[in-house]
Amino acid sequence: MSAKFTRVGVAILLVIAASTRPSHAQVTDAPQVYVSALDTYVKTGDVTAGVVPLLSWRPKDFEVAIDKLIASGDASRMRAATVFHLEIGVALVGLNLGSAKLHLDIGEDLLGKARRTYTSQQALKDHDAFRAIWLAVAGSTYLSVKDIVRARLWLGEAHNLAPDSAHVMTVYGILDEVDAQGYNPDDWQTLVQRERNQRERIIRLGRAERSYRAALVIDPHYSIASSRLGRILQLNGKLKEAREALDRATADAKGAFQEYVAALFLGAVQHEQKDVESARRSFEHALSIVPTSQTAVVALAHLELMAGRPDRAQALARNFAAKSASDTWWAYKDGILDLAGLSWLRQRVRQ
């Protein structure tokens, strides 16, 4: 599915709609409009096109339409709707957490109700596998805006549903890794606070490392787990091991996203090892995959500055500034959003 959503696109449309529609107007044919929008999304893979007819909807309008969909017992459409609302939640989370939460809650509710339509063991098993990935993506969506509490809740549920999934195990590890960022040993007012930050950070990084290693036991070639493991090892100062893990991640990478994350993290390790030439190649590779990645630009420009090439650092920043009219790249910052899971869900809905 070639979903072409953009947070910005969706948000702009929502704002426009909100400004043009009478505040008390009600959607008279909500169920039909909703199904039509859903079918557009499934057919085109374009969540922005799908969401257009729903722009001015209030929560009540969704409630009416979704009740009707559930009553229809159409499992296929219900499943598609869960991904539709997930995509909208992903698109909105950095702009309006409340709206994002509404759509993620709708999707999660639909997932539970769709399960009741399945009767065979195989169908239930298949649905639970789908649900686990859905929950992992939703959890990572909260994680991408550092909403650790909600992320932990949803990822915990995903983990319970699929304890032997390398994918879910990896996203669970990312949760602890991001949580650890909240305990910055550089950021303290008292010595007690500094010690506490260091202690809490080590605990969380340790948990993340165990999750990634467990994921690699399940699937030794799971590139994202290798990437994240490499990152953790780097943060713990184990640079040689980190580089080995990231070399594995690079070799096992499937698709541009995994390759991008591996290149970014590998560059960071190489830079710390003072292997400037290799680090430069890695960051340039990351930038070639995602040309307007803010993170790749910052990483490469920082390397150039430290290597005594301030003119190159400035040129990179200027080139980036000339292009950065979009905040679309937030998701690629350091691979927190579970894009692999989202892509898998899209494919399943299109089948």
Partner 1 sequence: MAPSAGSPVKQVIVTALVMIAAAQPFDSAQDRQPVFRSTIDVVRLDVSVMNGLAPVTGLTRDQFVVVDNGVPQTIDSVLLENVPLSLTLLLDTSESMRGDRINHLIEAARALIKALHPQDEAALLTFSEPVKLAVPMTRNRNVMLDALGTLTPNGATSLNDAVFLGLQLRPESVGDATSVLLVFSDGHDTASWLRNGQLLEATRRSSLLLHVIELMPPNYAPNTTAQPSELLSALAKAGGGRHWAAQKASDLNDFFGKALNELRARYLLTYSPTGVSREGWHDVKVTLKNARGDVTSRPGYFAQ
With respect to partner 1, which residue has the nearer C-beta, 56 or 258?
A: 258
With respect to partner 1, which residue has the nearer C-beta, 66 or 303?
A: 303
With respect to partner 1, which residue has the nearer C-beta, 22 or 308?
A: 308
For 214, list phi and psi in degrees, rounded to 5. -65, -40
Both tokens of 147, joined, read 């909403």
CB 133 within 8 A of CB 341: yes
Q: What is the contact mask toward partner 1 in residues 312 to 331, using x (rule: CB under 8 A)? A: -xx-xxx-xxxxxxxxxxxx
In order of 179, 255, 326, 330, the CA distances from 294 in angstroms are 22, 20, 11, 8
Lookup result for tokens 């995903």: 158
Both tokens of 66, joined, read 């979704």
Residues 68-107 that bind partner 1 (CB under 8 A): 94-97
Distance CA 315, CA 40 (A): 43
Q: What is the contact mask toward partner 1 in residues 162 to 201, using x (rule: CB under 8 A)? A: x--xxx-------------x--x-xxxx------------
Residues 215-274 that bind partner 1 (CB under 8 A): 219, 222, 254-258, 260
With respect to partner 1, which residue has the nearer C-beta, 69 or 258?
A: 258
Q: Kindly state the smallest distance separating residue 14's Cβ from partner 1, in Å.
A: 13
Residue 287 found at the interface with partner 1 (CB under 8 A): no
Which range of residues in 60-68, 76-84, 196-204, 286-294 is near partner 1 by CB under 8 A?
A: 286-294
With respect to partner 1, which residue has the nearer C-beta, 69 or 342?
A: 342
Residue 208 found at the interface with partner 1 (CB under 8 A): no
With respect to partner 1, which residue has the nearer C-beta, 75 or 317?
A: 317
Residues 295-314 that bind partner 1 (CB under 8 A): 295, 297-299, 301-302, 305-306, 308, 310-311, 313-314
Q: What is the contact mask toward partner 1 in residues 19 to 58, using x (rule: CB under 8 A)? A: ----------------------------------------
With respect to partner 1, which residue has the nearer C-beta, 203 or 306?
A: 306
Residue 138 found at the interface with partner 1 (CB under 8 A): no
